[in-house]
Amino acid sequence: MEEHSHLAKAALFDAISEVAAALAAGRRAEIIDVLAQGERMVEQVAQELQQSVANTSHHLRALHRAGLVSRRRQGARVLYRLAGPEVEELWVSLRDVAAALRADFARLASAYLGELDALEVVSRRELLQLQAAGQVTIIDVRPREEYLQGHVSGALSVPLSELHRFPLPEGRPLVAYCRGPYCAFAPAAVRQLRSRGLAARRLEEGFPEWRRAGLPVALGDEAGAGPPT
């Protein structure tokens, strides 16, 4: 009986460690961050990671075996998504622990995101107030596919790669947001907008945090969204 209990306990803790092991690669953590924005095809994930489709498929299979992502077929395509909100919470907890305990984390984040101190942050509460008063234009600078799967209600879809040719209203403050606190799109957008003489700030954190806070979210396209053709 005691031996059975010991084996059962070992199996239980092995199952837990297998979930952790599935995330023991930077590219897999990056995949979780991408899929937190919405469902994506293997090829789209590979493009985001700048990795081969074969290598990306290998990582996705490992995450699927651990139960962290689910997949479905749509014709000849295979689409992946997070298996549940618990996976996103795990990812948030993991990055928060890394930020709190790794002495070099701030340096690593700064090397990727650039200097953020000069880029004023807008809180979620302040953005809601500005939006209600009609005193702000909100822009979602993530890829278009992510915007369509969910975005801050009322935001325009202006992917960072298209920001330079998008006619934005002058005289009205702009707030840009992207995937989260370690996404470089919004900081880059704010720097670009300021170089054009526009008043721009970035939203604290990003869209997943906005959604988890239970704030207004819209799906699909909205009137006026997207760059002109």
E-strand ranges in 90-133 read 121-122
The per-residue pLDDT for range 82-110, each reduced to its tens digit, is 999 999 999 999 999 999 999 999 999 99
Residues taking part in catalysis: 178
Cβ neighbors of 79 (< 8 A, separation 6 or more) are 39, 40, 41, 71, 72, 73
Pick the CATH number of 2-91 from 1.10.10.10, 1.10.3720.10, 3.40.50.720, 1.10.530.10: 1.10.10.10
How is the chain split into domains, by residue range? 2-91, 114-218
How many C-beta atoms surround the C-beta of residue 32 within 10 A?
21
Read off the pLDDT of residues 27-81 as tens digits, 9 standing for 90 and up. 999 999 999 999 999 999 999 999 999 999 999 999 999 999 999 998 888 999 9
User: CATH second-level architecture of 114-218?
Assistant: 3-Layer(aba) Sandwich (3.40)
Fill in the amino acid letter for 132.
A
The residue-averaged pLDDT of 147-174 equals 90
HSE toward the beta carbon, residue 218, CA cutoff 13 A = 13
- More confident position, 58 or 4: 58
